[in-house]
Amino acid sequence: MEKEMYLKKRVASIRVEPYLAEYARRKFDVDPKTGGIRIPYTFDLYHCVYNQMSKPPREAGEVADANLRINLPDSRVMPVRKHPEYWNWLSIAAATEIESCLRNMFNYDFHTVMMTNENLGRPRQQREIVDDFITEYCLTEISSDALLKNFQRYRMRLSPRKKRKYQKVTRI
């Protein structure tokens, strides 16, 4: 009984974009007992979650519409040790920060796959790669058109098009 209470205290629930929650559940291992994702310490997300952990306020309750459960990190390497049994609350601002970190990870993985195809001379169509990415991470909450548009915006930021200079032609 005590072990179950201990496990409950080591898990925090947050609300993020639905496609990011699906991505996180496929990217990281899910603990069958708690239903939370286990983040390895080599990821930036681990340190982001660790830095956002705080003690729960007295009037804090469970997040009603949470769609992602996270096993809180227990790092013995950090200078200030936060025990997850006591530092087991993630605020709304913390959830926003974690969502931002997850979005960066998602975009990095997706853009890497797409840019690899670009660098190889486009042996496959972009639509096929997007569909494979969607099936690999079992994404149902985001469309392939949204991912294609995301990549087009990324590519435009990498190499923006220069507008042609207007030159007036004068005839004599």
pLDDT of residue 79: 62
pLDDT the model gives residue 1: 54
Mean per-residue pLDDT for 23-52? 93
Least confidently predicted of 29-38, 41-50, 91-100, 159-168: 159-168
92 Rama class: left (phi>0) / alpha (psi -120 to 50) / beta: alpha
Q: What pLDDT, on the 0 to 100 scale, is given for residue 68?
A: 94
Q: What percent of the chain has pLDDT over 70?
A: 92
Mean pLDDT of 80-101: 88
For residue 77, with 0-12 CB atoms within 10 Å meaning exposed, 13-18 middle and 19 or more buried, which class applies? exposed
Could you tell me which residue, 19 or 3, shows the higher pLDDT? 19
Residue 126 burial (10 A CB sphere; 0-12, 13-18, 19+)? middle
Q: Would you say residue 49 has pLDDT above 70?
A: yes
Give the residue-averaged pLDDT of 105-126: 96
Q: What is the pLDDT of residue 170?
A: 85
Measure the N-to-C terminal CA separation of the chain; round to a whole number of Å.
Answer: 96
**What is the mean pLDDT of the segment spanning 53-71?**
85
Give the whole-angstrom CA distance, residue 74 versus residue 153.
38
pTM of the model: 0.87
Tallying the residues shown for the chain, one arrives at 172
- Token pair in block for residue 24: 């996180």
For residues 92-104, give the mean pLDDT. Answer: 96
